């Protein structure tokens, strides 16, 4: 691996990490609108490293009308 490839890899990794962190924050914001977010759920959200799962949960959170409905469907 060349130095340039290493820098590109590090940049891509940093961007992916930023996307995941933003998705976590957005999901938690929407969940807080639904009600009290348990520590267990916060821990679960914060351990997810798959941006697609976080997006799926975000889309679910904006469609349901309660925390119970979110927990049942996730």
Question: Taking the model in full, what pTM does it have?
Answer: 0.83
40: which 2 tokens? 């267990």
Q: State the CB neighbour count (10 A cutoff) for residue 20.
A: 16
Residues 6+ positions from 51 with CB-CB distance below 8 Å:
16, 19, 20, 23
19: which 2 tokens? 């996307």
Query: Could you read off the pLDDT of 12-50 as tens digits, one per residue?
Result: 788 899 999 999 999 999 999 999 999 999 999 999 999
Q: Domains of the chain: which residue ranges?
A: 3-73
51: which 2 tokens? 């941006």
């Amino acid at each position: 691996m060349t130095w340039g490839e290493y820098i590109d890899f590090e940049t891509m990794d940093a961007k992916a990490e930023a996307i995941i962190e933003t998705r976590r924050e957005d999901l938690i914001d929407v969940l807080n609108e639904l009600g009290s977010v348990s520590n267990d759920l916060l821990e679960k959200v914060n351990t997810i490293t798959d941006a697609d799962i976080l997006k799926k949960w975000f889309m679910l959170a904006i469609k349901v009308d309660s925390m119970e409905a979110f927990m049942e469907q996730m």
